[in-house]
A and B are shown apart, each in its own frame.
Chain A
Amino acid sequence: MRVIRELFRHGSGRIGALIIVVYLVLALLGAVGLTPHNALQQLPISRLKPPSLSFWTGTDLLGRDTFSRLMLGIGQSFVVAFASVAAATVAGTIIGLLAAWWGHLWDGVLMRLMDVLLAFPAILLALLIIAVVGPGTSTSIAAIAIVYTPIFARVVRGPALSLKQRDFVDAARTFGSSQGYILTRHLLLNLVAPLTVQVTLALAWALLTEAGLSFLGLGVQPPAPSLGVMLADSKNLMQHAPWLMLFPGLTVMLGILGFNLTGDALRDILDPRTEQRKA
């Protein structure tokens, strides 16, 4: 709670958090059907209308309201981004913690495995996974989760290695504390701050990757709205209806900006040095 309060006091963090809140509200309204128009209904009389009071961001080739579609698209992107980052965080944290804690051979095997995953460009690895399993929302989630797992494993392993050497871990051993207790209370609890920052930044990347995958037609399948699909559809109409490209593009950009600003602000707020000073 204190972190959220400080986030809204932080200059750029406030902007980032505000963007995310607005996106969340739009996505929720979209999810419960409170869109200005029906996002899927095709109205032949209002095809390719530029932005106006009734169609805030214009309509597409099939006469669908793009603002309503953007709202659903944001929801779609958020579902994929949050689910994949959550999965990557859990998997990466477990792998990183165990590699650091067991050390030696385990550390070598687990981290080299992560290195193999890291060696592929993210989008290429995701393409590979989708090529094997087939496109769809759950495949996108799984693919992005696998791509980001090594990053979390690395973010966790480094600090965990140094925490493992700290006196309070030795002290815990002298009491006879169980490994599970040491791993959760002494290691994981001290990793919450760097993980929070990493999660926020990873959300930005996941958002972009999701848009990229659906742009290539490998994510959500039409007619379900998605930011990437909307961008892909707009590319042949760029000269006649530039709003078709402008608004989905801006939506993706602002979303990434929101997460990045929040991540940077959290890094400032959760930095132990600034935290010490305030206490």
Chain B
Amino acid sequence: MSTLLDVRDLKVSFGSGATATEVLHGVSFALSAGETLAIVGESGSGKSVTALSINRLVDFGGGHITGGSIGFTRADGTALDLAAADERTMTAVRGRDIGMIFQEPMTSLNPVMTVGQQIAEAFRLGRGMSGGAATAEAKRALDRVRIPDAARRLANYPHQLSGGMRQRVMIAMALASNPRLLIADEPTTALDVTVQAQIMALLAELRAEMNMALIFITHDIGLVAGIADRIMVMQRGVAVEQGETGTVLDRPQHDYTKHLLNAVPHFANGSATRTDERPGRPAPIVSVSDLVVRFPIRVQWFQKAGSVHAVDGVDFDLVAGETLAIVGESGSGKSTTARAILGLVKATRGKIDARAGRSRRPIQMVFQDPYASLNPRLNVEALLAEPAIANGQRVDAALRDRMRRLLARVGLGEDALGRYAHQFSGGQRQRLCVARALMLNPDVVVLDEAVSALDVSVQAQVLELLVDLQREFSLSYLFISHDMAVVERIAHRIAVMYAGRIVEIGGAAAVLSTPQHSYTQRLIAAVPSVARRRQTFTLDATPVPSLVRPAGYEPPPARWREVGADHFVREETAA
């Protein structure tokens, strides 16, 4: 096979003069035509900078290449050093030879142009087509990325499409000029797991169809196991290991690769659930019955057109000392359920009974984004004091002592008290949020995607901390997550939510190993993992039912089927 890309000793710096920082310290790799290379690493490892250097988008982000070469073979067979090419050459290369897709499809698309116009633009600029021909090509491009009803979709604006559809539109645009290399920078990170599986399957098919080389950047080593020919593992701007996918995964040489493979929670079909004994199901500490949350949609001022049924009749009990995980994809109503329990959204109907606990506020919450949930203008002492002040306590020596003990318990030093949130890393901030939630000595902590925003190795540590804290303080967790592998590590029981309802609930091992509801089965089948890399994913484009219902609509009552001890599944109806 001919070499398409030959990167040698690539060095990239950001900033200039005395403040310049080198972020890539000499990275070398080669890529043949039609081959797929996965670049794996955590945030700050330089994986995105490596990719952005190839099409020189890094220049626009304040970076510049300070050393090394990027040999690229163009379609006509001529060789080109991309590291030394001028901006005009690069514009042509970006348009014709190298396509790119980004993590967040909503921000990559122009919100005021229809997707048809945007794809047609790619054909006009990339291949010099005129209006009519470009539009016809745009339709064919949408067909190629398997968007059903492509002719109608051309007239849609980005906000009218789902996340998965938008990412397909991005792929269609990137492929407009039949590039010989496609760079995909975390293209599925913002997507649900079943959608992610579809996009991965699509990329694998298109790559074969078009004989295109692919550079796939990800933090999830399990995800690329099925698609990559070769893997390059990066850490702090250096490629620590690269080789054939099988070799890297089965016989990793570098300690960091081993660490990464161990840190990633691998989904094991319910065989790795927690085995610490659960108390023999005493009275529930939180009992939710028939919880309904609806958001009315108004067409005009006072006229209700119906409502979004975000949560539609949810029942569950949470027992002391137990973790109940609520899993589901975006829009399933899992976060709304959590927010309703804490009173952050008003329940339309239903009862939430919380047994009187150890403090006046027995339920506390940890949010997904540790950056957004800490006030940037307050220091740690003020942040931790807030729950106490809110409940009428005085900030005195005893309270400061409690702060110090909790900080030490979550793994932060005493010197943290005087510091501000931005002086901590993401993982440390989330530890801080956990400490803050524990300030009031709660019985229940709601963890809303609490580890989703963290790097995998940090994620593993925070999960471990959560399990330890649960034992130590006999806490109950309501653990909201979309990540089946994480849920497997921490849950005692699992409730699967789909379109505002619980469709399956039961012991973690039972639900994960013998899923009964068709949605649970789909969800579990879509989880990527190193162990399942030889399985092939098929395209499954079952659309999520709309949650918008006309005014006065009431769902039919749920009928439950008991499929095992403490394992219930909702009977599926046509609706």
A residues near B (Cβ < 8 Å) are 166-168, 170-178, 181, 185-186, 189-190, 192, 272, 276, 279
Residues of chain A within 8 A (CB-CB) of B367 are: 167, 170-171
Quick one: given A174-B365, A176-B360, are A168 and B387 in contact (CB under 8 Å)? no
Interface CB pairs A-B, < 8 A, 5? A170-B339, A173-B344, A174-B361, A174-B365, A175-B387
B375 touches A176 (CB 8 A): no
Residue-wise, chain B 82-119 has the 8 Å CB interface mask toward A (1 for contact) of 00000000000000000000000000000000000000
Stretch from B214-222, B308-316, B376-384 that touches the partner: B376-384
Q: Using a CB-CB cutoff of 8 Å, which residues 409-441 of chain B contact chain A?
A: 420, 422-423, 433, 436, 440
Residues of chain B within 8 A (CB-CB) of A178 are: 390
Residue among B339, B344, B382, B390 facing the most chain A CB atoms (10 A cut-off): B390
- Residue B391 at the chain A interface, CB threshold 8 Å: yes
A174 to B: closest C-beta gap in Å: 5
Residues of chain A within 8 A (CB-CB) of B369 are: 167
Question: What is the bound-complex CA distance between A130 and B528, given in angstroms?
Answer: 73
A222 to B: closest C-beta gap in Å: 48
A175 touches B391 (CB 8 A): yes
A166 touches B372 (CB 8 A): yes
Contact of A189 among B339, B360, B368, B377 (CB under 8 A): B377
Quick one: given A170-B367, A181-B386, are A175 and B344 in contact (CB under 8 Å)? no
B364 touches A174 (CB 8 A): yes
Name the CB-closest residue of A to B363. A174
B478 to A: closest C-beta gap in Å: 13
Dominant secondary structure at the B interface = loop
Quick one: given A173-B344, A176-B360, A279-B423, are A168 and B375 in contact (CB under 8 Å)? yes
Quick one: given A167-B367, A172-B386, are A186 and B422 in contact (CB under 8 Å)? no
Residues of chain B within 8 A (CB-CB) of A173 are: 342-344
Question: What is the bound-complex CA distance between A181 and B433, given in angstroms?
Answer: 19
Quick one: given A171-B367, A189-B378, are A176 and B361 in contact (CB under 8 Å)? yes
Residues of chain A within 8 A (CB-CB) of B440 are: 175
Question: What is the bound-complex CA distance between A276 and B420, given in angstroms?
Answer: 11
- Residue B373 at the chain A interface, CB threshold 8 Å: yes
Given contact pairs A168-B372, A172-B386, A176-B390, enumerate 19 new A-B contacts (beta carbons under 8 Å).
A167-B368, A167-B373, A171-B373, A172-B390, A173-B343, A173-B344, A174-B342, A174-B361, A174-B363, A174-B365, A175-B391, A175-B440, A176-B361, A177-B390, A185-B375, A190-B377, A272-B376, A279-B420, A279-B422
Question: What is the bound-complex CA distance between A167 and B387, given in angstroms?
Answer: 15
B20 to A: closest C-beta gap in Å: 14
Question: What is the bound-complex CA distance between A189 and B386, given in angstroms?
Answer: 14
B461 to A: closest C-beta gap in Å: 22
Question: What is the bound-complex CA distance between A168 and B374, given in angstroms?
Answer: 5
B32 to A: closest C-beta gap in Å: 41
Name the CB-closest residue of A to B369. A167
Quick one: given A170-B367, A174-B344, are A181 and B373 in contact (CB under 8 Å)? no
B375 touches A175 (CB 8 A): no
- Residue B531 at the chain A interface, CB threshold 8 Å: no
Contact of B344 among A170, A176, A190 (CB under 8 A): A170
Question: What is the bound-complex CA distance between A166 and B369, given in angstroms?
Answer: 10
Residues of chain B within 8 A (CB-CB) of A276 are: 422
Question: What is the bound-complex CA distance between A144 and B375, given in angstroms?
Answer: 34
Residues of chain A within 8 A (CB-CB) of B376 are: 190, 272
Residues of chain A within 8 A (CB-CB) of B339 are: 170
A175 touches B361 (CB 8 A): yes
Contact of A177 among B342, B360, B363, B389 (CB under 8 A): B389
Q: Using a CB-CB cutoff of 8 Å, which residues 6-57 of chain B contact chain A?
A: none
B374 to A: closest C-beta gap in Å: 6
Q: Closest 3 interchain pairs by CB?
A: A167-B373, A175-B387, A177-B390
Residues of chain A within 8 A (CB-CB) of B387 are: 175-177
Residues of chain B within 8 A (CB-CB) of A176 are: 360-361, 387, 390-391
Residue-wise, chain B 325-349 has the 8 Å CB interface mask toward A (1 for contact) of 0000000000000010011100000
Residues of chain A within 8 A (CB-CB) of B422 are: 276, 279
Name the CB-closest residue of A to B433. A171
Question: What is the bound-complex CA distance between A266 and B372, given in angstroms?
Answer: 25
Residues of chain A within 8 A (CB-CB) of B344 are: 170, 173-174
B378 touches A185 (CB 8 A): yes
Question: What is the bound-complex CA distance between A176 and B387, given in angstroms?
Answer: 7
Residues of chain A within 8 A (CB-CB) of B382 are: 185
Residues of chain B within 8 A (CB-CB) of A171 are: 365, 367, 373, 433, 436
Name the CB-closest residue of A to B372. A167
A173 to B: closest C-beta gap in Å: 6
Residues of chain B within 8 A (CB-CB) of A190 are: 375-377
Residues of chain B within 8 A (CB-CB) of A167 are: 367-369, 372-373
Question: What is the bound-complex CA distance between A185 and B390, given in angstroms?
Answer: 12
B435 to A: closest C-beta gap in Å: 13
A186 touches B365 (CB 8 A): no
A181 touches B364 (CB 8 A): no
Question: What is the bound-complex CA distance between A176 and B363, given in angstroms?
Answer: 11
Residue among A166, A167, A185, A272 facing the most chain B CB atoms (10 A cut-off): A167
B17 to A: closest C-beta gap in Å: 15
B305 to A: closest C-beta gap in Å: 19
Name the CB-closest residue of B to A178. B390
Name the CB-closest residue of A to B375. A168
Residues of chain A within 8 A (CB-CB) of B433 are: 171
Residues of chain B within 8 A (CB-CB) of A177 are: 386-387, 389-390
Question: What is the bound-complex CA distance between A232 and B58, given in angstroms?
Answer: 59
Name the CB-closest residue of A to B383. A168
B390 touches A175 (CB 8 A): yes
Name the CB-closest residue of A to B366. A171
Question: What is the bound-complex CA distance between A272 and B376, given in angstroms?
Answer: 10
Residue among A168, A172, A173, A181 facing the most chain B CB atoms (10 A cut-off): A168
Question: What is the bound-complex CA distance between A279 and B377, given in angstroms?
Answer: 13
Residues of chain B within 8 A (CB-CB) of A168 are: 372-375
Question: What is the bound-complex CA distance between A150 and B386, given in angstroms?
Answer: 32
Name the CB-closest residue of A to B341. A174
Name the CB-closest residue of A to B342. A174
Name the CB-closest residue of B to A272. B376
Residues of chain B within 8 A (CB-CB) of A186 are: 375
Question: What is the bound-complex CA distance between A175 and B344, given in angstroms?
Answer: 11
B90 to A: closest C-beta gap in Å: 27
Q: Using a CB-CB cutoff of 8 Å, which residues 422-479 of chain B contact chain A?
A: 422-423, 433, 436, 440
Question: What is the bound-complex CA distance between A166 and B421, given in angstroms?
Answer: 15
Q: Using a CB-CB cutoff of 8 Å, which residues 108-162 of chain B contact chain A?
A: none
A181 touches B389 (CB 8 A): yes
Contact of A185 among B361, B368, B386 (CB under 8 A): B386
Question: What is the bound-complex CA distance between A178 and B387, given in angstroms?
Answer: 10
Question: What is the bound-complex CA distance between A185 and B360, given in angstroms?
Answer: 22
B217 to A: closest C-beta gap in Å: 25
B535 to A: closest C-beta gap in Å: 38
Residues of chain A within 8 A (CB-CB) of B365 are: 170-171, 174
Name the CB-closest residue of B to A170. B344
Question: What is the bound-complex CA distance between A220 and B418, given in angstroms?
Answer: 50
Residues of chain B within 8 A (CB-CB) of A279 are: 420, 422-423
Question: What is the bound-complex CA distance between A189 and B363, given in angstroms?
Answer: 27
Name the CB-closest residue of B to A169. B375
B358 to A: closest C-beta gap in Å: 15
Q: Using a CB-CB cutoff of 8 Å, which residues 57-84 of chain B contact chain A?
A: none
A170 to B: closest C-beta gap in Å: 5
Residues of chain A within 8 A (CB-CB) of B364 are: 174-175
B184 to A: closest C-beta gap in Å: 28
